[in-house]
Amino acid sequence: MNLHGIWAIYRFEMARFGRTIWTSLATPVITTTLYFIVFGSAIGSQMRNIGDVPYGAFIVPGLMLLTIFSESVFNASLGIYMPKFTGTIYELLSAPLSAVETVIGYVGAAATKSMVIGLVIFATAHLFVDLDIAHPLLMLGYLLLVAASFSLFGFCLGIWANGFEQLQVIPLLVITPLTFLGGAFYSLSVLPEPWRTVTLFNPVAYLINGFRWTFFGVSDVDVLACVAVTAGFGALCLATVVTIFRTGWRLKS
Amino acid sequence: MPEPILTVAGVSKTYRNGPTALKTVDLSVQRGEIVALLGPNGAGKTTLISIICGIVTPSSGSVTVAGHDVVRDYKAARRAIGLVPQELATDQFESVLATVTFSRRLFGRSGHSDYIEQVLRDLSLWEKRHAKIKDLSGGMKRRVLIAKALAHEPEILFLDEPTAGVDVALRRDMWKLVHRLREQGATIILTTHYIEEAEEMADRVGVISRGELLLVEEKEALMAKLGKRQMDLTLVEPLAAVPEALARWSPTLEDEGHTLRYVFDAKAENTGIPELLAAVAEQHIAFKDLETRKSSLEDIFVDLVGQRA
């Protein structure tokens, strides 16, 4: 195991984040605050509780995941896309690193940053609503699983992309709509049929509900199904990354 | 003969939907050697180096570096290799020290080492170690790439077009650096399309053209074997035509008849010069100067590539 090599990539990526630390941290704080002003105070005061959970608290898990999805995908995809773009990928390809080691470095760094931002949002939310976490350890574990899975997904995206536009198109056209329609800000129980059934085909709905369950102990769908979908998504992305490295697709000629 | 540090056996490369970049190549390099791969742009030099370093997958054949197969035992093989690419690809926002430390770690070594300082000092980069790469000149950036390639103490160094687009002063510096590395016992493979460079630095020269390694020879042997010499007589009075009496040496007239040029085989026992000069005297052709010169690698190269074209 080339631990020094993994550490080199991890540090390099974290240094890249470090250069933009203030925008990286200020953005989620400001966004979260805006969401709470709009959804928490302005609209939320008109909303009924969802189950036993006040609406302001109900949206916190969805809000965290919304940002974690986009940050993970963005950071991991840019992490591997930039070396391709600038040509420094030659060093990575000629280094004594296995596919798994490379992925641990890049995805580990992207997931770390997502985790930090997720926790910053959580802390900010605390200023607005009371949050009693039902399963704190599971919450952290779930957060890590989601951050790692989407970082893996972003890594695949970064290898696939041939331009900056392609990097943005998938998050914009796929992830954001699926997140909003997956019940980030509402319970599936409020949806009329057939939309409720349609939503059950949206994998992101399971991610959100699983995460929400770790907060409040309630979920619109079976918690085991949530864990299965989340872990399955992560495994699929991991398998894709390993295949990409094995075949050298878009990396080697 | 000791085990070669690099063995390339039957390696070829055909890009998908593309031309054959490399026909079957065999090459063996001993420790401490400096080998120049000489060829025009697009000849396949970079493809060959990229295959050895693991960036391009060969269509056939195998490569062994320091006793390790570059595919089966890629980690050990790659630890022995340092690569300086042709393009100035750098992480613009990193400092010199950070990027060199990164390279050392990437190749599996601890980032805390006096060796990094030594490499940076050798390359006159120590004073600039905290500078961002984007603020460096092109020549400095190339030194950074060399420092990165040397950072993990490789046994064999690949320099892909080290002086392409580099000014004369820096090119001289680069040559000095290569000589210094050679004194330290490094094995170096460099590609170049400057003949002067191969002549200056290499022990052996391989000529690549259109994906084919035409020959690999000791530089001196190559010069001796293929080298022609020429003698120029600067005439007092210009000649309109070569006199009949000199025809058996087939000299040519250059410079509007002011120069009589005789090309001869440098390795032949009898160069024919005394006889020719005697015949010139007999014809009462006066000359005021006589000059002979060896043909350079360049002439040899043009000859070789021309023959195959």
Give domain limits for chain A. Answer: 3-247
Give the residue from chain A lying closest to B154, CA to CA. A95
Model confidence at A204, pLDDT cuts 50, 70, 90, reads very high
B33: left (phi over 0), alpha (psi -120 to 50) or beta: beta
Q: How many helices (DSSP H) and strands (DSSP E) are in chain B?
A: 10, 14
Q: Is the pLDDT of residue B22 over 80?
A: yes
| A136: confidence class by pLDDT, cuts 50, 70, 90 | very high
The ipTM assigned to this model is 0.89
Judged by CB atoms closer than 8 Å, whether chains meet at A252 and B91 is answered as no
Tens of pLDDT, residues B181-215: 888 888 999 998 887 788 888 999 998 988 999 88
Whether residue B297 is predicted with pLDDT greater than 80 in this model: the reply is no
Determine contact: A12 vs chain B, CB below 8 A: yes
Nearest partner of A191 among B29, B129, A200, judged by Cα: A200
Higher pLDDT, A48 or A138: A138
Q: Which B positions 135-164 lie with beta carbon below 8 A of chain A?
A: 148
pLDDT digits (tens, 9 = 90+) for A38-81: 877 777 777 777 878 888 888 899 999 999 999 999 999 999 99
pLDDT at position A107 is 95
For residue B76, give the chain A residue with the closest CA: A96
pTM (2 decimals)? 0.85
Whether B122 shows a pLDDT value over 80: the answer reads yes
Query: How is chain A classified by DSSP, letter by letter?
Result: --HHHHHHHHHHHHHHHHHTHHHHHHHHHHHHHHHIIIIIIIIGGGSPPBTTB-HHHHHHHHHHHHHHHHHHHHHHHHHHHHHHHHSTHHHHHTSS--HHHHHHHHHHHHHHHHHHHHHHHHHHHHTTS----S-HHHHHHHHHHHHHHHHHHHHHHHHH-SSHHHHHHHIIIIIHHHHHHTTSSS-GGGSPTTHHHHHTT-HHHHHHHHHHHHHHS--SS-HHHHHHHHHHHHHHHHHHHHHHHHHTTTT--
- A134 residue type, one letter: A
* pLDDT-wise least confident of A12-21, A25-34, B96-105: A25-34
At residue A251, does pLDDT exceed 90? no
Cβ atoms of B229 and B263 within 8 Å: the answer is yes
Check whether B84 has a pLDDT greater than 80. yes
Measured at the CA of A227, the angle between CA A222 and CA A231, to 5 degrees, comes to 150
pLDDT at A74: 93
Contacts of A99 in chain B (CB under 8 A): none
Structural contact between residues B148 and A91, judged by C-beta atoms closer than 8 angstroms: yes
pLDDT reported for residue B308: 57
> Average of pLDDT values for A134-152?
94
- What's the rounded Cα separation, in Å, for the pair B20 and A48? 70
Domains of chain B plus CATH, in order, are 6-224 (3.40.50.300), 228-294 (3.30.70.1560)
Q: What is the pLDDT of residue A96?
A: 96
Query: Exposure pattern of A40-65 as b/e (b: 16+ CB <10 Å)?
Result: beeebeeeeebeebbbbbbbbbbbbb
Encoded tokens for B136 = 């460096």
Q: pLDDT at residue B294 above 60?
A: yes
The mean pLDDT value for B134-156 works out to: 92
pLDDT of residue B2: 79
**Count of CB pairs separated by less than 8 Å, A with B:** 78
DSSP states along B182-212 = HHTT-EEEEEES-HHHHHHH-SEEEEEETTE
Range with the poorest average pLDDT among A37-41, B92-96, B255-259: A37-41
Using the Cβ of B78 and the Cβ atoms of chain A, whether some distance falls under 8 Å is answered with yes
pLDDT over threshold 60, residue B113: yes
Note whether B21 and B44 are within 8 A (CB): yes
The Cα of B27 is separated from the nearest Cα of chain A by a number of Å equal to 20
* B81 lies within 8 A of chain A by CB: yes
Query: Which range is least confidently modeled, A41-55, B74-88, B278-292?
Result: A41-55
Q: Is A94 on the interface with B (CB under 8 A)?
A: yes
On the question of pLDDT at B267 being above 70, the answer is no
